[in-house]
Structures are given as structure tokens and as C-alpha cells.
């Protein structure tokens, strides 16, 4: 379906703003609207209506066997769509919602089956962005909302990114400026005896454990052959226009990789921290923040990935980051975006994923 996609620049961030009311009315008519959350821009539709949800999959070009996250305005609405809220989930809601945490609970069957991918569980969260919250209050609907990008590409952190990917494919875009966290929410399965992190994100494992005690990291995060319980666990994700190789090594090793691939005739782009960038000699380098503050790297990750255009580079060499705290989420996304990983401990011709 071809749309004349409306782009609303939000100036009055209240549920009574004319732009938010217009978007809410389209959602009530089973249309699809992109809106900002504190993580990335989401592509929202009525989570109780299968026909509306089908438009999300069509717009994104996304397979329908991957569950979607349901966004609600408050805790009271969570009660409307789950069969029960365990004590640990109550603690998590109180500690982290609204915020970048999604919890998986047992569904009561109200949410459409193509949102849950036929599972008996539901992934649900309360977003912490004024535009998202007011939109949810104005439409009075639970909104299933994956990231508002073409399937497989870097998630959008601005309305411009959404427009570039989905203009003509959706009814409208609410422009609430750039997002803050920059990476999707942490997904935590609360239906098992020991809670399991299915996707690392804006709330870290340490933060969760301070509230509810020990949690597991799902060993199936890297698998692609089973039916996923969480978004982001299946298929290729976050790929920029040019192939991305992860480089794990010091500045001299990274410089050698730049020169090696330049000598092979590749136009090489580099994605690095400010610290590494200062030590490298190359013309096409883009920084994504500082190692001293990985939250900054997270916030700029997708913006930087999108900045490399196929017309300008044949290959992107990307720095590897410490896997601690939000670094777990950063490296999770980079592993999914990368086609190859190069480690300093390996011989020059060896690579591994």
C-alpha cells in the first residue's frame, strides 16, 4: 500500500496536541504510526487487531514469526493483557518502568496472535518518552511497536531515519527529536523460575540483579534456528549499507587492518571511539563516542552505522568494545551487524564470527 506519509514535528508535547491527536485517530483506524521512545523510534499499531499488525510486517518487510513488544501507558494497562504479574515482575515494574526494560509475562489472550507469534507469552513495557506516553494515553490502545526501520537495517534514532526507510509505507511519523538511550530495551523473561535476559539493552544485568537477585543470560542469544521468544533473536539485524567487520585489537593492529584492506583496493571506512580515532591515520573515520562513557556510544551507535553510505565505502572496520554494563548491548548489536570478526590473537588470514 502506498501512503502519503504525514510527518508531524511535535512542538506541544501533550496528549491534547493536534499532532498527537491526529496520530491517535489514525491508530484507532488501524493505521501504522512511527513515534519516538527513549530507546529508538517504534512502528506502532493496535496490538489487539491482527489486520493492523499485519501492516507493520508489510511496511518493515519483516517475517511474522518474530514476536513484537507491546507498549502501554501505565501499570494498570499491563494488568489488562497478562494472566498474572509475579512478584519479581512487580519489583521490576516499580524499579524500571517507565524505562528501557521489557518483561515477558503470560498472556491472557487479548493481544493479537501475530503480535505474540502464537506464543502463550507477551513482551510488554512502558516507554519513558513524553511523545510515546501521550500518544498511548490519547489513543487508549496497547501499541505493538518494533523499531521503525526496514527489516535488517540499523534501528532509527531520529524521524529522519524513519522517513528515509518508510516514507510511502506508513500513515505518519511523529517527530519528537533524537532518542536518548539509542539501543532497544532489555528483554527479560519473567515466566521461568530464574529470570532470563533474552536481549541486552538499556537496563543492565547488574542493575536488574540489584533489584531481584540473580538472573541468567540466555545461551540461545546467538541461535537463529528456533522460534524466538523475544524480538532481535532471529534473522540479520542492524546492517549498514556496506559490510562491517569487527576488529578486536590494539591501535597498531587496527591500523594494519586499514592498510591491508586499502592495499587490496577497498575504500575503507572506520567506526571507532574518540580514543582509538586519535591514534589512527585514515581519511574516512567516524567516531561514536568515548570508551569512558559507553552510554554515549550506545546513543550514537545506529546514527554512526547509518552515516556510512555504500557509495563512499566498500568496507567498514569497527572497534570492539568492552562487554560490561551497556557494553553487552553494544556488542550484541555489533555482532549482529558484522559479517566478520578479526582478532589480534589470530593470524592475519584468520577470521571468526
User: Could you give the strand order of the β-sheet that contains 69-71, starting from the edge strand earlier in sequence?
Assistant: 6-9, 172-175, 33-36, 41-46, 143-144, 69-71, 121-125, 101-106, 186-189, 196-199, 216-217
Is 151 annotated as a binding-site member?
A: no
How many whole angstroms separate alpha carbon 227 and alpha carbon 234?
Answer: 8
Is 192 annotated as a binding-site member?
A: no
Contact predicate 45/117, CB 8 Å: no
Is 199 annotated as a binding-site member?
A: yes
H helix runs in the chain, sequence order: 18-28, 50-60, 75-81, 87-96, 113-116, 130-139, 159-166, 205-212, 251-263, 274-277, 294-307, 327-337
- Which cell goes with 192? 521461568
Contact predicate 235/223, CB 8 Å: no
Return the sign of the alpha-carbon dihedral for residues 106, 38, 235, 168.
Answer: positive
Is 66 annotated as a binding-site member?
A: yes
- Facing residues of 318 across strands? 246, 271
Is 147 annotated as a binding-site member?
A: yes
Size (the chain), residues: 353
Is 81 annotated as a binding-site member?
A: no
Contact predicate 216/196, CB 8 Å: yes
Is 76 annotated as a binding-site member?
A: no
How many Å is the Cα radius of gyration of the chain?
Answer: 20
Q: In terms of C-beta density within 10 A (0-12 exposed, 13-18 middle, 19 or more buried), how is residue 9 classed?
A: exposed
Contact predicate 182/201, CB 8 Å: no
Is 39 annotated as a binding-site member?
A: yes
Q: Is 202 helix (H, G, I), strand (E, B) or coil?
A: coil
How many whole angstroms separate alpha carbon 318 and alpha carbon 245?
Answer: 6
Annotated binding site: 39, 62, 66, 71, 121, 125, 145, 147, 155, 185, 199, 238
Annotated binding site for ATP: 62, 66, 121, 147, 155, 199, 238
Annotated binding site for L-threonine: 39, 71, 125, 145, 185
Amino acid at each position: 500500500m502506498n501512503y502519503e506519509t504525514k510527518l508531524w514535528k511535535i512542538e506541544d508535547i501533550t496528549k491534547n496536541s493536534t499532532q498527537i491527536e491526529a496520530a491517535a485517530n489514525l491508530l484507532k483506524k488501524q493505521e501504522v504510526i512511527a513515534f519516538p521512545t527513549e530507546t529508538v523510534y517504534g512502528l506502532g499499531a493496535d496490538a489487539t487487531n491482527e489486520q493492523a499488525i499485519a501492516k507493520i510486517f508489510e511496511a518493515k518487510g519483516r517475517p511474522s514469526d518474530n514476536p513484537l513488544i507491546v507498549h502501554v501507558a501505565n501499570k494498570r494497562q499491563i494488568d489488562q493483557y497478562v494472566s498474572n504479574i509475579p512478584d519479581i515482575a512487580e519489583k521490576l515494574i516499580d524499579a524500571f518502568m517507565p524505562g528501557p526494560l521489557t518483561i515477558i509475562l503470560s498472556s491472557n489472550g487479548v493481544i493479537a496472535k501475530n503480535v505474540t507469534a502464537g506464543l502463550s507469552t507477551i513482551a510488554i513495557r512502558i516507554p519513558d518518552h513524553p511523545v510515546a506516553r501521550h500518544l498511548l494515553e490519547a489513543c487508549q490502545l496497547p501499541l505493538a511497536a518494533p523499531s521503525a526501520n526496514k527489516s535488517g537495517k540499523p534501528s532509527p534514532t531520529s524521524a529522519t531515519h524513519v522517513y528515509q526507510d518508510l516514507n510511502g509505507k506508513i500513515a505518519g511519523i511523529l517527530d519528537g527529536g533524537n532518542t536518548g538511550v539509542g539501543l532497544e530495551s532489555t528483554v527479560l523473561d519473567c515466566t521461568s523460575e530464574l529470570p532470563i535476559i533474552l536481549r541486552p539493552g538499556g537496563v543492565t544485568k547488574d542493575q536488574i540483579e540489584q533489584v531481584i537477585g540473580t538472573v541468567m543470560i540466555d545461551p540461545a542469544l546467538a541461535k537463529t534456528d528456533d522460534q524466538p521468544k523475544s524480538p532481535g533473536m532471529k534473522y540479520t539485524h542492524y546492517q549498514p549499507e556496506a559490510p562491517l567487520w569487527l576488529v578486536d585489537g590494539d591501535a597498531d593492529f587496527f591500523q594494519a587492518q586499514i592498510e591491508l584492506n586499502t592495499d587490496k583496493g577497498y575504500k575503507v571506512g572506520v567506526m571507532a571511539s574518540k580514543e582509538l580515532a586519535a591514534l589512527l591515520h585514515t581519511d574516512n573515520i567516524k567516531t561514536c563516542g568515548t570508551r569512558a562513557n559507553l552510554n554515549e556510544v550506545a546513543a550514537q551507535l545506529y546514527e554512526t552505522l547509518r552515516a556510512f553510505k555504500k557509495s563512499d565505502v566498500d568496507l567498514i572496520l569497527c572497534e570492539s568494545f568492552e562487554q560490561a554494563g551497556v557494553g553487552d548491548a553494544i556488542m550484541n548489536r555489533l555482532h549482529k551487524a558484522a559479517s566478520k570478526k578479526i582478532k589480534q590473537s589470530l593470524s592475519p588470514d584468520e577470521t571468526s564470527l
